[in-house]
Amino acid sequence: FLANLSAQNMSLGGCFKWSNKFDWEFKTVEYFCPLTCRCTKDTSDETSCPKPFGKNCDELNDCLTVNQQHFCPGFNTQVIEFTILYDVASPQALGANLEAAQLAFQTSIGQYAGHSTALDPNTVVVDTSLPGLAGASIYLIDLENMNVGQITSSLYSIPLQNFQAAVNASLTSSQVTLDQLGLSVTFAGDPAQRPGSRSR
């Protein structure tokens, strides 16, 4: 890789620490965000910092890589936000089964997205960093064949018991003991409509 760059009179300079947002599947330097060169939203346009899709390195954190293709909101994808509120019987059990819980949220959202087939769980990014709250971003990566309005409406009208059943089915398939985890979904839908939201 470096030899090929040198052959084209290109150099990485002192930028040897790269953002883990992007991996070596990107074959050109412009997709990397050199952290050691401080390429952030505050970096002036006069520098040589990369701006793939016209976005700075901070903005690229909103992009998603699926099947070696890269999707950025406002460029080639639309994102629907989704909120899940939940309780668990055992925080320790949740910690031990966090990946399974995240997958359960991903697959359940994909199942009820209202498309002709379930959405790829890899297009659903779930953030469970806050206890009892999971924020999901659903990337619609095939806009030509997706009815955004239909998908949004379907997602925001999922009966809670159906969503809970889908979560339970996914957890069971991941060999998680439901009684031990005790994951109970109390809300699933439009972030603006969640209990306690100021947007209501």
> Quick one: pLDDT band at residue 54, thresholds 50, 70, 90?
low
pLDDT above 90 covers what percent of the chain? 48
Q: Write out pLDDT tens, residues 63-102.
A: 888 887 778 888 889 999 999 999 999 999 999 999 999 9
Q: Where are the beta strands (DSSP E) in 88-123?
A: none
Which residues lie closer than 8 Å to 4 by C-beta, 6 or more apart?
none
Residues 100-157: pLDDT tens digits? 999 999 999 999 886 567 889 999 999 999 999 999 999 998 888 888 898 999 999 9
Per-residue HEC secondary structure of 153-196 comes to: HHHCCCCHHHHHHHHHHHHHHCCCCHHHHCCEEEEEECHHHCCC
Q: What is the pLDDT of residue 186?
A: 97
